Structure 1
Amino acid sequence: MDVQQHSVSPRDDFYRTYSAAQVDAIVDSLVQRGEFPYELTYLGDGSEMWREAETPSDAEHSPMLSDFDTLLTSHAARLLAVAPSASPVRIVDLGPGTTRPVRGLIRHLLDESRLAGYRAIDISAQILELARQNLGNDFPGHAGRFELCRGDFTGPDLARVLAAEGDGADTVRFVVLAGGTLYNFADPARVLRHVCHSLRDDDALLLTLRIDTGVDRPPFMDQISVGGPYKPQQLAGLDLLAVDRSWYVTETGFDRDRSDVFVRVRFLEPVTVTFAVGDDQRAVAFEPGDTVLVWRYLYHDAAAVADQLGRCGLRVRLFEHGQDKQVVLVAATPAR
């Protein structure tokens, strides 16, 4: 029985969503690593997942908040102890999402008259608009304190957002990577080294992460689960490539060599995707059995998290577990 060869081109909204450089990066990642860069799924349709998840923040309508949402708030006083006494604090939010994790910390800093300002950076205009709306709803009258910048914090844009006009020499920056944002990247250590290099001695990096506690591990830690679990956003990139979901199956598992939980697709039928890259065309072909990684999450235990931060030039100052012990808040400062 002949297997049908599928030849497709990305949808028109693929090219509206991504810049020429991002298209080139996606093709390189598919060819070199067999991976659709997950951090790029927060643009376009992928950002709608975040909007749908956001609800009014009043007590009557709020859902039960997760540890990712509450850890920065519940330890706000201890985080301030990491900064020099009475120093104003500027929050620099890298990949703000809904901003839910940082809003309690913002409120605490306002109450203590310590907030120098809040600045967020993201490659997604849609995410930044969601952040603007949520901050406006929760902090009416403080719009002048919030700046939203479109850019890539893994590159030179980070220095731009850290250099806030009007900050005094005593202003401390709390640089936030909340909700596991750090582990969206194929090389989290490179991102950590880049952030550390950009910090002043009194600045602090604040992370919220899900870690491996050795208990309550999902079954796919030992055997690949075919068909899920996965989130629709994780397939958004392939949807934009016009790759039909009937042409592959999803697999969720654990890569012991990398300590990554992953979601990937395994092709059932041959597919060729032809990209327009500038004036050129580039084709990426997949045969039955080929896989494309669509999501990864580094699954370290507490000791490995601390070791990674140390190797990237950071010293752990605070390490606190959430209620279920699997989500942690880590505050680290440059170890120079």
Structure 2
Amino acid sequence: MTPREDFHRLYSAAQVDAVADSLSLRAEFPYQLTYLGEGSEMWRAGEVPSNPDLVPMLRDINSLLTRHAEQLLALAPPSSPVQIVDLGPGTARPVRGLIRHLLERTRLAGYRAVDISAEILELARKNLQSEFPDHAEHFELWQGDFTGPDLKRVLAPERASGHSGGEPFRFVIMAGGTLYNFADPNQVLRHVRSAMSEHDVLLLTLRIDIGADRPAFMKEVKVGGAHKPQQLAGLDLLGIDRSWYVTESGFDRMRSEIFVRARFLEPVTVAFDAAGGNRAVSFEPDDTVVVWRYLYQDSAAVADQLSDCGLQVRLLERGEGSHVVLVAATPTP
């Protein structure tokens, strides 16, 4: 079988290769690539979860940057301009309160967002224009891959406009668990760290394991459990019929990861017309493909992870619900 026609319209040759590599080497569809095309609308719709029990947690994680804005400003030199660089902005919901806080204090030096999905950027643009009609035209939204060379362009030094002319202090943000969309979060962290300057603070909002009141997914693998539509969007694009597999959700204790995966009921071979030539990836019955993962660590493990990647935690604040945290980290000297 071959991918659907829109698969090759949606993805570049390099992204097609990345999908084939990920499937063959890790048995995983790259989740970050499900934010393109129709997946962006699925993602937007997913902001309103079908499970009402998740609403308070999502509201909490979206408000973390706003609630702790003054503590974050305390990390910057007094009265210095502050630029926001939003990596994977989604609909820009988590950063809007922080933007407003900086505008009210005349501290905002600019807002810049980067995402591989033009559709996601358009959603963010519309929301920012609605929320900040007098300022949004000056906000910059760039289509690019912040896990690759585009990041250095996004974080290129610039002088502050409308302030003292010095280089602005920057908040580099990955909100809503963006970091853990990737199969290798440490690789992404090291890449971001390598592009940061001494004027930058990395801000993460994450869901963490608090060691108590643990969710049901940590107890057993559930067949046919709840999943978001976009988590299967990648397999749909490959032309894999949903009757050929069952979904499973659970927790991998060895990797400290929540997962959703497809377990095949039928043999499946996908033939790719990739940049390096034709190639095929095959799966047998009972083989699995991961379609979503999320690293689920406690706060100490998060701090250790950042330290291993050359970053030092400066602030760690829990939300109203203790399962979510805001982490601020700076490059280790």
TM-score normalised by the chain length of structure 2? 0.93
Q: Following the alignment from structure 2 to structure 1, what is the Cα–Cα distance between the partners of residues 57 and 255?
A: 33
1:179-194 to 2 correspondence within 5 Å?
A: 179-194=176-191
Match of 1:221 among 218, 223, 247: 218
1:19 aligned onto 2:16 = no
Match of 1:292 among 278, 285, 289: 289
Distance 1:279 1:153, change over 3 A: closer
Match of 1:104 among 97, 112, 115: 97
1:290-329 to 2 correspondence within 5 Å?
A: 290-329=287-326
* Contact 2:208–2:296 (8 Å) recurs in 1: yes
* Contact 1:35–1:292 (8 Å) recurs in 2: yes
Cα offset, 1:258, TM superposition: 1.0
Q: Following the alignment from structure 2 to structure 1, what is the Cα–Cα distance between the partners of residues 198 and 79?
A: 16
Cα offset, 1:199, TM superposition: 1.2
Cα offset, 1:51, TM superposition: 3.0
Cα offset, 1:162, TM superposition: 1.2
Counterpart residue type for residue 24 of structure 1? D
Q: Counterpart in 2 of 1:208?
A: 205
Counterpart residue type for residue 310 of structure 1? S
Unaligned 5+ segments in structure 1 are: 1-7, 56-61
Cα offset, 1:279, TM superposition: 7.5
* Contact 2:27–2:290 (8 Å) recurs in 1: yes
Q: Following the alignment from structure 2 to structure 1, what is the Cα–Cα distance between the partners of residues 193 and 132?
A: 30
1:1-336 to 2 correspondence within 5 Å?
A: 8-53=1-46, 66-163=59-156, 165-167=158-160, 168-278=165-275, 280-336=277-333
Cα offset, 1:10, TM superposition: 0.6
Unaligned 5+ segments in structure 2 are: 49-54
Aligned-CA RMSD value: 1.7
* Contact 1:196–1:313 (8 Å) recurs in 2: yes
Identity of aligned residues (%): 69
**Partner SS state of residue 326, structure 2:** strand
Q: Following the alignment from structure 1 to structure 2, what is the Cα–Cα distance between the partners of residues 286 and 255?
A: 21
Counterpart residue type for residue 39 of structure 2? G
* Contact 1:54–1:98 (8 Å) recurs in 2: no
* Contact 2:43–2:230 (8 Å) recurs in 1: no
**Partner SS state of residue 132, structure 1:** helix
Cα offset, 1:165, TM superposition: 4.3
Cα offset, 1:164, TM superposition: 5.6
Deviations 1:48-99 (A, max 9, x none): 12333569xxxxxx99961121000011111000111111000000000010
Cα offset, 1:222, TM superposition: 2.3
Q: Following the alignment from structure 1 to structure 2, what is the Cα–Cα distance between the partners of residues 64 and 205?
A: 22
Cα offset, 1:137, TM superposition: 0.4
**Partner SS state of residue 34, structure 2:** helix
Cα offset, 1:145, TM superposition: 2.5
Q: Following the alignment from structure 1 to structure 2, what is the Cα–Cα distance between the partners of residues 102 and 264?
A: 31
TM-score normalised by the chain length of structure 1? 0.93
Counterpart residue type for residue 95 of structure 1? G
Q: How many residues align?
A: 323
Deviations 1:210-230 (A, max 9, x none): 000112222231211111121
